[in-house]
Each structure stands twice: as C-alpha cells, then as structure tokens.
Amino acid sequence: MKAKKAAQFQTIGLLGRANMKEDAPFLKELKAYFDKKKDLTVMWDNNLSEVLGKKNEKPRPTILKHAHLVLSLGGDGTLLKLVRDLPLRKNLYVLGVNLGTLGFNTEVFETKKVFPLLNEILSGQYHTDDRLLLRATLYRKGVKIATHLALNEAVINQGNFARLIGLYCEIDQRKMIEFKADGIIVATPTGSTGHSLSAGGPIIHPRIDGFVFTPICPSELTVRPIVIPSNRQLTVRVDTERRYADNQIGLTIDGQIMVPVEYGDIVKIRASHRKLRLIRAAIKSSGGGNYYKLLREKLSWGKKA
C-alpha cells in the first residue's frame, strides 16, 4: 500500500451484484451524492438499473474502459467478476464496498462510512494497493482453448469422481514436480486466504510479489505448498485419462468460471501484466486499510478457541 499523486476522478463507474433491491435506499443516497458533484460523470451497469434507472446504464466493459474510479458494490464475488473484464490501464482505481457477506477484499464494510471516504478520495486523500493477477491459459494439442484472469486463484481439480489426478509441472520449461493428487490451487497473495489456505497453504501478504502452488490432498505427504516468484511461468500437464464420459476434470477461475480439461491438456499460469488497483483510506478513522486487523476480524486469525 502506498500513497500516490492524487488522480483526477472525473468519471465514476458503479458495478453491482445481482438482486440489489434491498440496497435501494443506500444506492439512491449514493446517486444523490454524485448528482451534487456537477463536475463528475456517473454511469452504472444493468444490475443497478432497476434501482437507479436506465439513463446512465452502460455495459460493464465500457465502464471499466472509461471510468477513472469504479465502486464495486457487493461482496468479494462482485470484485472477482469485475476482474474478468479488467482492461490494461494504469489510471483505473477500484473501491470495494461490502454489501455482501464476507467482503474480505472490500475496503468499506459499513455503508455509513462510504460518503466520508468518498469525500477523502475526491479531495486526493487516499492510498493505492496494487494486486497481482494471474493469467491462466488452457491449451489442447497446441491450440489455445481459453484464457482468463484470476484475482484469487486458478484451480485444477477432479469433478464428480473420487480418483487422483496425475499432474506434471514445470517452471519456465524446467521440471518442477510430478505427482498425483485431487488437484492443485495456484493462488495470488490476495487469494492465499481463500481456497489455498483451507488446503494447507500459507497466508501471503498482498505486497509479496509471488504466487503459491498448493497441492490438494496429494498422495505423498512430501508434496507441500511452495511460493513461486511472480516472474516465473508455471506449466501443468494433466496426465489422467477419463474412464467414463461423466468423469470431468476442470480448470476453475476464482470459483466463478469452469473450463473442462482433458487428458494431455496443458495449463500455463503466469502473473498478468494487468494489476487491480484498489483504493484505500488514507485516514485511520475511515476504518479500512489494516490487513492484519482484517485477518483478525474476518478470519479470526490468532484467536484462541
């Protein structure tokens, strides 16, 4: 997290989760706040149109292409969905507002604190927190099948069958490890507190420039998680052949997108050139920006049973 020269936020984008009727009072208050800022242009996606109307509705990619400041209104899932369409821009800032359940990666957890924080941000008082993203690309017989950005993790695992998967892994075209497991999780520092942590991986501070390779229930106890520098490329080949038509292995991105994987497929995972630039509070009274406090409060880190 670091302070930067204040950017000029002239265009504001609002991205919401589905079914936001129960948040209508806050959303209308938010729109009224921006309506008073005559020098700002505000647009929103179709998830908010039922409450805010269709006048300034724009497609999500358009908002991410043109907005200087984007408010992600929902939980962690809304933020993860935003990343799918994230453009290669350095002047796009994202503020996460938690209207969901966990909201681990959002900056604001109470709607009443949104407006004081916006006043700070628009006056140039804020920090930024650049988050590493992964790019996972699936190849089949040398042909690119799919490529996706991930904020949390890319997972290769078995579907609806209880059988180990054979995996051959390389780092920068050098053999890393060959083993059998239920699958693997390749997580960013942001995602290290999610699925990877549950599978025995370490917590990695968001400022660490790397990603973690976490095996899922490996057949050998010696196969342990490892943190890999972000300038390396991980290549994973699936060496398990399906026995039945419904035996499906999948590449899952941030728990939201699943791409079927076949025997012999290759998945290449590397750090993306894109970054998610989160905006953080500059003043402690705003209640955000303390990563260790977040671990204690959201994950009960260090608390005695």
Report pLDDT for 3: 46
DSSP characters for 128-181? EEEEEEEEEEEEETTEEEEEEEESSEEEEEE-SS---EEEEEEETTEEEEEEEE
287 and 269 in a common domain: no
Nearest one of 203, 159, 202 to 183, comparing CA atoms: 159
* Mean pLDDT on 130-155: 97
Q: Is residue 305 part of a domain?
A: no
Res 101: pLDDT: 67
**pLDDT tens sequence across 149-200:** 999 999 999 866 667 899 999 999 999 999 999 999 999 999 999 999 999 9
Residue 143 has pLDDT above 70, yes or no: yes
Task: Tell which wins on pLDDT, 183 or 100.
Answer: 183
| CATH number of the domain residue 16 falls in | 3.40.50.10330
Do residues 181 and 257 share a domain?
yes
Residues 31 and 145 placed together within one structural domain of the fold: no
Whole-number Å distance between alpha carbons of 17 and 175 = 42
Q: Are 126 and 1 in contact (CB under 8 A)?
A: no
Q: What pLDDT shows up at residue 285?
A: 46
Sign of the dihedral defined by the CA atoms of residues 17, 18, 19, 24, in that order: positive
Beta bridge partners of 170: 175, 235
Q: What's the predicted TM-score (pTM) here?
A: 0.90
Residue 164 lies in a domain: yes
Structure tokens at 9: 């936020």
Q: Is residue 87 part of a domain?
A: yes
Inside any domain, residue 304: no
**156 inside domain:** yes
**H or E, element range at 211:** strand 210-216
In a domain, 248, yes or no: yes
Does one domain contain both 217 and 92? no
Number of domains in the chain: 2
Query: What's the pLDDT at 81?
Result: 93
- Annotated catalytic residues are 76
Are residues 202 and 81 part of one domain? Answer: no
| pLDDT (mean) for 141-152 | 96
Residues 95, 197 share a domain: no
Examine residue 114 and state whether it is found in any structural domain, yes or no.
Answer: yes
Helix axes 24-35, 114-122, angle to 10 degrees: 30
**Any idea what the CATH number is for the domain that residue 144 is in?**
2.60.200.30
Non-local CB neighbours of 23 within 8 Å, separated by 6+ positions? 16, 51, 73, 99
- The one-letter code for the residue type at 21 is K
The mean per-residue pLDDT over the stretch 99-125 comes to 83
Q: How many residues does the chain have?
A: 305
Q: What is the mean pLDDT of residues 14-38?
A: 92
Q: Do 48 and 175 share a structural domain? A: no
Measured CA to CA, the distance from residue 201 to residue 203 in angstroms comes to 7
**Helices H / strands E in the chain, number of each:** 7, 17
Q: Is residue 228's pLDDT more than 50? A: yes
The band of 1, judged by pLDDT with boundaries at 50, 70 and 90, is very low
**Is the separation of the CB atoms in 216 and 157 below 8 Å?**
yes
Indicate the burial class of 142 (C-beta count within 10 angstroms; 0-12, 13-18, 19 or more): exposed
Quote the CA–CA distance of 139 and 270 in Å, as a whole number.
14
Residues 6+ apart with CB under 8 A from 55: none
Answer yes or no: is pLDDT of 4 > 80: no
Q: Residue 18's domain spans which residues?
A: 2-125+282-299
pLDDT at residue 31, rounded to an integer: 94
Q: How many CB atoms lie within 10 A of CB 57?
A: 16
- Exposed (0-12), middle (13-18) or buried (19+): which is 83, by Cβ within 10 Å? buried
CA distance 107 to 112: 13
What percent of the chain has pLDDT above 90? 70
